[in-house]
Amino acid sequence: MHDSEPLRTSRRALLKGTAAVGTSAAISPFLLASPAHARITTGDYTIRFDNGARQTILGLGFEIQSDSIGSSNDGLPSTVSGVPYDLTASERTRFYQQMLMAGRADRGFRYCRLALGLYHRGLDASRKRIVDRYPGQSSLLADMIGQAGIEGISAEYWSPAPGWKSNGSYIKGALASFAAADLDALGDAMVADLDYLSAAGVPISMWGLQNEPSFATSYSSCTYDTAQYLAAFKAVAPKIRAKYPQVMIHANSLDGWSGARGQAIKGDPAALSYVDAWTYHRIGKDSNEQIATDFTSGAVGRPVFNNEFEYLDEQTSDARTLNTAQSIMNWMTFQDAPTWFWLHALKPTTNSESPGYSLGFWRPPHDTDFSRFPDLPAGHWTFNPQNWNAVAGFVKYMPWDSVRHHVEEPVHTDGSPYRDHRIMAWKTPSGKPVFAITNRSTTTPFTYTVDTQTAATFQGHRYGPSVNNRTLASKQGPILTLTVPPLSVEFWVRTP
């Protein structure tokens, strides 16, 4: 961990310096606190704003569904439907301002994950290059990115173009050939896919070879065994780096360095030299996992982060609001993650998976079933509050390039930190102290006594399953006594 404020260097250089050491133990999803732990209702905390600087937090990411997918992720409909395409002009603007910027005047989310071969899946005549499937698709994405102040896309393949695959389809299959010449040509085609987007005004911030390379699904996918993944990565990643030297290359969008593909890359110095970060999918996992599980010790100096988080059972809940908020905090506090991605900004009212996947819902023009969302007109969107309220405060009160600071916090008698009462602190790029605190209890308030090391005033902002940015009475430092209601997240920001 770093003990002084990091220098303002390039994103790739900054990322390479943010490794941390965790502890190793497996936990089950949604592990409940023990009765003894549940009885704790207070805690004393000291924020080390003096000498406790840790990693730079680059900003958060989201995924955009810019084309259609079947309900329950089953198939690729011919229907053209997506965001921002389906939204009216005024609803696009409201989406950019209220969600993607979280009401900020400058910018909110930093990264937009774009699923190549899924939500961007048009084809050229050769069927080996990915282009827009409908007129203006890339231009709409560029406009969204520009208006919302997003840095750029995380371009990641769900499948290469079908012309490269054994079954000639986006769905399932593998590469048709791993011969050196064919992999070389594939690399040129993947660079061309980025060039196409870039020429339309879509900036590229990150790149990944394959989403979840071990899974064949009923939507776009492509499987690679360990040797195949390594061979393809070694052929393509150098071409991406040569054409887009500032792009963050990550691997492997499932189990990072821990799985077989990551281990193969670690064992190959040439391949490893192109890895800027390791990415994991800890989908819907209890936030305790980031406290109890080691995601960093084998990262060989690269940062680790979650680039997909959602809930797979087609629902959400009040408890999940707090779990999601703590997932963000615990990835950053215990794993030194520089970013964190929720899966989708908006999902359609027509899809059964939407409640667990989305920060909000939109009604496509073809959805005429008003038994769902009866007050939502076609081309309009609304928040999914139990998910959105978990993420919104971090987008609003944690600007890009904030620096996390260590917090001295209480522990249980077994030495473990409190799991239902989490704290994370940071300084904004302008040096303003901010901290977030949670209470995951469903019944009992929790009182934080926080030494902020400054006599300044702090303003509170509360979020919860049905609460969004409620302003709280200001408090004078350095010692703040803050009682947090059940199922609440609070952000305390120094004023002015």
pLDDT at 37: 58
Checking if the pLDDT of 268 tops 70, the result is yes
- DSSP-derived secondary structure letter, 351: -
Which pLDDT tens digit goes with each residue over 418-434?
999 999 999 999 999 99
Q: Using CB atoms within 10 Å of the CB of residue 290, give its burial: 0 to 12 exposed, 13 to 18 middle, 19+ buried.
A: buried
Query: DSSP labels for 253-307?
Result: EEBTTTSHHHHHHHT-HHHHTT--EEEEE-TT--TTHHHHS-SSTTSTT--EEEE
- Return mean pLDDT, the chain: 93
Distances (CA, A) of 417 to 151, 291, 453: 35, 8, 22
pTM reported for the whole predicted model: 0.93
- The residue whose two tokens read 């989406």 is 95
Checking if the pLDDT of 28 tops 80, the result is no
- Mean pLDDT, residues 480-487: 98
Which pLDDT tens digit goes with each residue over 251-264?
999 999 999 999 99
pLDDT at 39: 79
**Which residues face 446 on adjacent strands?**
484
Checking if the pLDDT of 12 tops 70, the result is no
pLDDT at 477: 97
Domains by residue range for the chain, with CATH? 28-56+401-495 (2.60.40.1180), 59-397 (3.20.20.80)
Which pLDDT tens digit goes with each residue over 337-348?
999 999 999 999
Higher pLDDT, 27 or 199: 199
Which pLDDT tens digit goes with each residue over 187-231?
999 999 999 999 999 999 999 999 999 999 999 999 999 999 999
